[in-house]
Chains A and B, each alone.
Chain A
Amino acid sequence: MRTAAALVGLAVVALLAGCGEEQAGGGDAASYPTESIRLLVPYDAGGPTDLTTRTVGACLESELGQTVVVENLPGGSGALATTELVGAEPDGYTLSLVTAGTTVLTPLANEVGYTKDDITPIGVMAEVPSVLAVGADSPYASAEDFFAAVEADPGAVSVGVPGASTPQAIELQRLADEHGAEVTTVPFDGNAEMTTALLGGNVDAVLINASLDVVENIDAGSFVPLVASSEERLSWLPDTPTFTELGYEGLTLSGSTFGLAGPAGLPDEVAGTLEDTLRGCLEQEEVRQQLGDRYVPEEFGTAEDLRAVLDETQEVYEPILG
């Protein structure tokens, strides 16, 4: 079954490659799209990235009138899918979900042969903030308690993060380097493991992507959010202060921005069409519901906004990782 799908996929790719060549000189970008679009996800099926891409993909399909084939290409911390993207013809028929992780962090930490400048940003699909959370029976009732404990005994407080080279892990390193607040960072493998560790009292706190599973735990009272990673307070967590408010300036990069992008050199018309379509999609009530209203930015994140997020991340992370 899977084989058949793969074969069909291959056939489609071959077809696309063939057509891409023909079109390269033709420049009929104005009539884009005239054939099916391949939309890559650098992560496994079933997670928040997959959910976001599939929802947006379905909307693009109905708005543009062409089939959108969502394809999961996990592996290499996003390098596998992103390599595929930057190697594709810049014709708008190969797009991918991008994050600061896949396009900035991974190239900085590893030799992957591409940088954030090898993509053309199109727009922001969703933003998932991070929260610093403790368990229900934690001795730290507030952010102040937490940081008092951290500063009193550096390294004594343990904080779980979703992986070794994740924005969350780097943010905790910056907390120590730039603000002198030193915690023991314990990398886990994704949200599920961290959740178990926090509920079982094996770590004191977690810095975790506030995806739906975490929101559920917050609502149930088993997670207590102490700090939000966003620049301003989150509308759905009005009582939770930000790092900036607490005096830890600049620690706003641990959230995830799920962007839509094509390969570098995407014609302006194509990029424009896609950006406008994405903007329209994110205004639809049904799409917002499916993505989770709280994750869709109030104001549409344009191609330039996405570029700015990636640039800022690069600037901050390069001295740490480079």
Chain B
Amino acid sequence: MEILDGIGQGFSVALDPTNLLYVFLGVLIGTVIGVLPGLGPTATIALLLPLTYEIDPTTAIILLAGIYYGSMYGGTITSVLLQLPGEAASVVTTFDGYQMAKQGRAGPALGIAAVGSWIGGTLAVIGLTLLAPPLADLAVEFGPPEYVALTALGILLVTYLGTRHPVKSLSMAALGLLLATIGQDAITGTTRFTFDQISLFDGLDFVAVAMGLFGVGEILHNVEKTEKAQAVVGKIKNIWPSREDFRASAGPIARGSVIGFFIGVLPGGGGVISSLASYATEKRRAKDPTRFGKGAIEGVAGPETANNASSTSAFIPLLTLGIPANVVLALIFGALLIQGVTPGPQLISQNPEIFWGVIASMYIGNAMLLALNIPLVGFFVQLLRVRSGILASFALLVTMAGVFSVNNDPFDMWVVLVFGIIGWLMKKTGFEPGPLVLAFVLGSILERAFRQSMLLSGGEFSIFLTRPMSGVLFAAMALVITVSTLTALRRRRRSRPATPGEEDLAAADATAEPEGTPGAESVDRDARTPGTGERDDRA
């Protein structure tokens, strides 16, 4: 009963008044910075890192961990209210959350996100308590070919996300992949498309691109039609999710917890990929997938649960192998190093008070976050009553400051503005920023992993099929493609036999795309047909 002893010791550490105070501080700061667009956990933890040198290592990690998972709660709020993803993982929440807010259902969206986050977070801590060591071994097996499979699957799923026009979203995904090639080539080290600008050596900053396309694009769009926006605000009805909402969300929350937990364990997995996977799962399972992207509560509950679960399970590789799964955990890793503690396979035996103390503090922190967020829902919803002009200028200001804070590079502020204008134009022409942003994130991982795989195999493509895990993932992809093609074919035969070549996978709008096989065709091909000149007048 090592685990019981361990967790007992953990709670005795975590319930120490100092540590209780720091876990509270952590989740509070996390919530606040999650709310402020652009100011993500990375920037905040980098800033606070020097302050932790003086405090006890366990307390320091409890604080920093609290900021991290706290920001996952906070990030939801602006995603729902303003379509400004507070941090990367919340991009997916904007798809349905913002639509819910437009329908006056911001309260239920925020409420279900808080509850889901709490359940996901807590279940993930339980998983962390029980499964940390075996899972860490499994995660290490994940090599470059598996990453190719995972990211390719992700990009494939992007085409189904909250979109009514597969061709438009494919072309946006292609653009995202193209933008991901800017910067230093990961394998040869030469620079591509940088025009000798030092600021472009590392490529475009993800935060700047996402903030521009989603946030600034939306602000510009709203400024155009101020009165309309205010009219929507007038009818905020219920602040709390109804019984029906809870019933609809139970499944997504349960699945989101599991998906988030396992994806979070993978190095580089957490955040966006987990919420993306959850969203895709819910959409595939739904009886009526067309509701997604129009304010389906499942599309908020699942991803929000998953990103919280993944932010917790991301601690597994760090605490058991000394491998930080993402940038935030790399900072926490640094904090431990500075304290003279090296996370690694021996952490559990050498510093049990850190390992178990941090885990126990996560149970407490998640409970605090629920208590903190539920009463705040009402408060945040009131934000929508602020005149949209004032809200827009304030949001723009905070966005710019937040983006600058990531790299201390003014160049990024120009990136936000340029992508803001692109986002606004996309909005007007019916293109959605989601696929672009997600393909941009996944593209650089995909490219590097693919070329690493080619180096390792000496150029043999069989490496992707002969390895069990990547083989399974590619088989899953083949299945998705086959099923969607067959469904589409059948639907075409049933609905419009006379006009072959006109089909729309999502089938939400009757206006079909002039493109043959929907869904999973080669991205390259679609890249050559960016946009079909159709107008999309929703919003």
Interface check B517, CB cutoff 8 A? no
Residues of B within 8 A of A186 (CB): 452, 455-456
Do B334 and A203 have beta carbons less than 8 Å apart? Answer: no
Q: How many residues of A contact B (CB 8 A)?
A: 60
Interface check B140, CB cutoff 8 A? yes
Do B144 and A202 have beta carbons less than 8 Å apart? Answer: yes
Interface check A284, CB cutoff 8 A? no
State A287–B202 Cα separation when bound (angstroms). 33
Shortest B116–chain A CB gap in Å is 28
Interface check B426, CB cutoff 8 A? no
Residues of B within 8 A of A (CB): 33, 39, 43-44, 46-47, 49-50, 53, 139-144, 184-191, 196, 198-199, 201-202, 267, 317, 321-324, 327, 330-335, 337-338, 340, 342-346, 401-402, 404-405, 407-409, 448, 452, 455-456, 458
Residues of A within 8 A of B343 (CB): 213
Do A46 and B46 have beta carbons less than 8 Å apart? Answer: yes
Contacts A1-B47, A112-B198; is A202 near B143 (CB within 8 Å)?
A: yes
Do B342 and A76 have beta carbons less than 8 Å apart? Answer: no
State A192–B50 Cα separation when bound (angstroms). 22
State A81–B366 Cα separation when bound (angstroms). 39
Do B199 and A76 have beta carbons less than 8 Å apart? Answer: yes
Contacts A75-B202, A187-B187; is A192 near B330 (CB within 8 Å)?
A: yes
Query: Considering only CB atoms, which chain B residue lies closest to A48 in the complex?
Result: B337
Do B331 and A46 have beta carbons less than 8 Å apart? Answer: yes
Query: Considering only CB atoms, which chain A residue lies closest to B329 in the complex?
Result: A192
Q: Which of A199-235 contact B (CB under 8 A)?
A: 199-203, 212-213, 215-217, 219-220, 222
Do B189 and A200 have beta carbons less than 8 Å apart? Answer: no
Do B408 and A72 have beta carbons less than 8 Å apart? Answer: yes
State A206–B332 Cα separation when bound (angstroms). 24
Residues of A within 8 A of B (CB): 1-3, 5-6, 44-48, 50-51, 54, 70-77, 79-80, 83, 109-112, 155, 158, 163-165, 169, 184-189, 192-193, 195-197, 199-203, 212-213, 215-217, 219-220, 222, 289-290
Residues of A within 8 A of B50 (CB): 54, 70
Do A165 and B201 have beta carbons less than 8 Å apart? Answer: no
Shortest B207–chain A CB gap in Å is 12
Q: Within the complex, which residue of B139, B143, B405 is in contact with A3, where a contact is CB–CB below 8 Å?
A: B405
Residues of A within 8 A of B196 (CB): 110-111
B337, B338, B409 interface centre (most CB from chain A within 10 Å): B337
Do B344 and A213 have beta carbons less than 8 Å apart? Answer: yes
State A211–B142 Cα separation when bound (angstroms). 23
State A237–B250 Cα separation when bound (angstroms). 56
Contacts A196-B267, A199-B321; is A75 near B344 (CB within 8 Å)?
A: no
18 contacts between A and B (CB under 8 A): A2-B401, A6-B404, A46-B332, A51-B334, A74-B407, A79-B198, A80-B409, A110-B196, A163-B186, A164-B189, A184-B456, A187-B189, A196-B323, A202-B144, A203-B456, A212-B342, A216-B344, A219-B346
